[in-house]
A and B are shown apart, each in its own frame.
Chain A
Amino acid sequence: MLAKVYSATIAGIEAYPIEIEVDVTQGLPSFSIVGLPDQAVRESKDRVKPALKNSGFEFPVKRITVNLAPADLKKEGPSFDLPIAIGLLTATKLIKRDRLTDYFILGELSLDGSLRPVKGILPTVLKAKGLKKKGVILPEENAREAALIKGINIYPVGSLKRVIDFLEGRIEILPFSLEVKNLFKERAIYPVDFNEVAGQEHVKRALEVAVSGGHNALLLGPPGSGKTMLAKRLPTILPDITLPEALETTKIHSIVGLLNPKEAIVATRPFRSPHHTISDVALIGGGPFPKPGEISLSHNGVLFLDELAEFHQDVLEVLRQPLEDGIIHISRAKGSVSFPARFMLVGAMNPCPCGTLGQQT
C-alpha cells in the first residue's frame, strides 16, 4: 500500500516541498530510499527501524520503497526520519491516512523514538504557510523558532508515539505560540557596550562616523591598543536591528544550524570574526550544495577581520563583489543560489610584522 507524507528540504536559502512516498509490498524484505538522498537521509533507515520498535510498533517484514519527490532535488539531513516513519506506519495501515496531507512533518529520530531538533526550521515553516498547510509537526526544541512565523499552527512533539497519537486524534496538542515582539525585545541585549571603552576618543569618533554612514572601517595600531575590543562593541552603536532584518538574519543562521533553540531569533546585530586561516568558500559561502558563508552570517551586522594582512589574498579578493552588491550569487554545476550579504566590514591590523612601527622604544 502507498502512503504520502509531506515535508521540505532546504536548497540555498529557500525551502522546497518534498513528498515522501512510502510503498510497502510483499516480497523479499528490503528497505530502499530513492530520490537523491544524501548519506544522512540514507542512514535514516537504521534510525527508523529501532525507533519504531522502541515505540511499540512492529517493523514490517516487507519490501519497502521510499521515494522522495521531486527526484531531481538533492535531499539533505536527518529531518526525513519522522516523515518516513509516519509513512511506513500509514502504508501498513497502523495509522489512518486522512490527516496527513494537512501537515508538514519533520524531525530527526533518536533510537528510542524521541525527536531531535533539525536545521532550517524558519524557511520550512514559511513554505508551509505559503502552501496553506494547516500546520507543521516538528520537534519540541524547534517550536520557538517556528513560532516566529504567524498564521500557521505549530505542533511541537517530543516523540514518535505522540505524533501518532496526535494524527490518530487520540490526543490534542495545542498549537504553540509566542509573542514575537516580546521575545525580540527580551533577546535584544548585547553582553558588551561601546560606552565601556575609556579614552581612545579619536578612534571612537571615527567609528561613530563610520557607523552613522554605514561605512567600512580599518583599524590600524600596535598590539594592545584596543582594536579588537572596539570592533566587538561596534554592533551596540549600530541602529537597533528591526524585526524584518532580524528574521532575515535568523533564516540564514537557521539554515547552517547556528541558531540556539532557546534564543530562537537573532535579535542583535550579528558580529562575526572568522580566523585569518579561513578559506574563500567558508567566507562567502559555497560547497557542492551551496551553504551560506561568514559574510551572509554577518548579514545586517558586522564582519570583523582581525589581522587583516594575514588573510590569504584570494580570500580578500572574493569580498569585492558582495561588498558592493550586498548579495552573493554562488554558482555551481549543481545549481546556483543567492544569499544576502549586507554587512559592515571592519578590519584590524598591525602597522608592521612586529607591530610596533613608529613607536619609541
Chain B
Amino acid sequence: MGKERIKLGREGEERAEKFLLSKGYKIIERNFKTSFGEIDLIAYWRKVLVFIEVRTRTSYNFGRPEESISEEKKKKISRVASLYLKAKKLNGVDCRFDVVALVLDREKGVKIKLIENAFQLC
C-alpha cells in the first residue's frame, strides 16, 4: 500500500471519529488489530456495541466508498468482532456493524455517510 493511501485512510478515520462523536458514539477502541484482521473503530452507541468500518475515497470515480466492502472483508470484520467479544468477555451485549463512508474530494469538499447496521455476521 502506498504512503498516500495510508495517509488518506488515517485522515478518513480521524474525520469519521469526530463525526461519530457528534452523533453520540463513545469510542472505546481504535484500530483493534489481530493477526487476521483489524477493525477501524469500536464504540458504544447507548448500550449497543458498534463495530465500525471506515471507508475513504477521494472521488466517486471508482464507485461509492461503501460499495467497496467485499464479502471477504465482512467475514474478516465478523471474525475479529467475535474475537473481541471473547477477549473482553462481553456476553449478552447487543452488537451491530456500522459503516462510515467518506469522500474527501480536495475541490468539492467532504461528504460523510453513516450506515447503521450495514451488514450481519457472516
Contact = CB atoms under 8 A, between A and B. Distances in A.
B85 interface: yes
Interface stretch (B12-20, B32-40, B93-101): B93-101
Interface residues of B, number: 15
Contact of A61 (B78, B81, B85, B94): B94
B22 interface: no
Interface in A1-29: 25-29
Q: Summarize A's interface: helix, strand, loop or mixed.
A: loop
Nearest to A32: B121
A233 interface: no
Interface in A63-103: 63
B86 to A, nearest CB: 11
Nearest to B121: A30
A190 interface: no
Contact of B78 (A25, A28, A62): A28
Contacts of B31: none
A31 B117 CA distance: 13
A26 B85 CA distance: 12
B93 A29 contact: no
B63 interface: no
B82 interface: yes
A317 to B, nearest CB: 49
B120 A31 contact: yes
B94 A62 contact: yes
A31 B121 CA distance: 8
Interface in B73-109: 78, 81-82, 85, 92-97
A254 B82 CA distance: 46
Contact of B82 (A25, A28, A62): A28
**9 tightest Cβ-Cβ pairs between the two chains A and B:** A30-B121, A28-B121, A29-B120, A61-B96, A28-B95, A26-B92, A26-B94, A61-B117, A30-B120
Given A28-B97, A29-B95, A29-B96, 8 more contacts: A26-B92, A27-B92, A28-B85, A28-B120, A29-B117, A30-B120, A61-B48, A61-B94
30 contacts: A25-B92, A26-B92, A26-B93, A26-B94, A26-B95, A27-B85, A27-B92, A27-B93, A27-B94, A28-B78, A28-B81, A28-B82, A28-B85, A28-B95, A28-B97, A28-B121, A29-B95, A29-B96, A29-B97, A29-B117, A29-B120, A29-B121, A30-B120, A31-B120, A61-B48, A61-B94, A61-B96, A61-B117, A62-B94, A63-B121
